[in-house]
Amino acid sequence: MGKPRLTSIAFVESPLQFLSALEAHEPDEDLLIRARANAKGMTSFLDAFDTAWLPKRVRLEREGAKPGILRKSPPDRIYIGDACSGQVHKALSLAYLERRMPEVVILDDGLATYSTIEILTAKRGPLVRPRQKLKASRAVMAAHVADRLRGLAPAGRLRWHTALPVSKTMRKAFLKTGAEITRHKFTHLQTLPTGGSHPRDNPVIGSALAADGLIHEDAYRSWLDKLAAEGPITYYPHRRETDEFLAELAEDERIRIKHVGLPIELRLINLPSDSTIRSLPSTAAVSLATLNPDVTIAVTEIPAKWWTGSSPDSLRKSLNAQTVKADVDS
């Protein structure tokens, strides 16, 4: 009689988290992906994603993180996309208040993942996003979950599965806790029939920094104007950009806006080697560099005068410090 098959569940709230769960899935693992369909941009993504693209033994449900599923069918492993999600905190707190928590794997959640890893590396502190202010009850729950996850590290039951660059300092500090780091290069994503050869249409990756109030919109618009002045561009909006901003942008005949339900990583696979993708510091730039190693990823560092002052210096420095090549192979 063979050993029982590994059962896992993934809680994801963004397209990148979803794709990261597919990359983390192991061939002999039964994985249930619980996607939060009402999160920004997720409904259009899930509608566009063909379930035939799922690996074998992977199922998808649009239910999000609910404690009931963890109580009814306790998994051997939990994949977490947004470790700062209130819904995830509630599910984990209620299901594992007095029970032993299984192995937990942190998935990439954009550049915000670095903040999550720094929090888990610290000896104390709640899992909270930069600039986020929590109510007292939420803060207690966020601190409880952070402590429970930290407690998994010495037993080798906390892992970060990533395609992001990992600095030597961050890698050393995280591994010192007893946690693990595993890497991927979007192997499954590259097998999907969504990319292929694309015309050289000067792609530009849209940023949410202006929409989130971190940089001035007029500065961002000026940057796009300068790019368009060099020739027509194809603009791939970020899922959090507003309809009003995109409608105004569409009035510029030099800018072609390409709305895609699927994330840009799925649309810009296998570009011609002489292509150039332009972007501000972003996770998409890092992902596309992994997917298209022969393509030029031109990342513009954000000038100091662009910032609105609503983000801490650490976040601004962290964003501008990002590169599109991993500096450590874990």
**What's the pLDDT tens digit per position in 137-195?**
888 999 999 999 999 999 999 999 999 888 899 999 999 999 999 999 888 988 887 65
Domains annotated on the chain, with CATH: 6-190 (3.40.50), 195-321 (3.40.50)
| Residue 98 near residue 69 (C-beta atoms within 8 A) | no
**C-alpha–C-alpha distance, residues 162 and 156, integer Å:** 17
**What's the pLDDT tens digit per position in 230-246?**
999 999 988 888 889 99
Name the pairing type of β-strands 255-257 and 58-61: unpaired
In this prediction, residue 169 carries a pLDDT of: 92
| Token couple for 127 | 């899992």
Predicted confidence pLDDT, tens digits, the chain (330 residues): 456 789 999 999 998 999 999 999 999 999 999 999 888 878 888 988 889 999 999 999 998 898 888 988 889 999 999 999 999 999 999 999 888 999 999 999 887 899 999 999 998 999 988 777 788 888 899 999 999 999 999 999 999 999 988 889 999 999 999 999 999 988 898 888 765 545 567 899 999 889 888 899 999 999 999 999 999 999 998 888 888 999 999 999 999 998 766 778 777 877 777 888 999 988 888 888 877 778 888 999 998 899 988 766 666 666 666 554 444 444
Residue 180 in 3-state DSSP?
strand
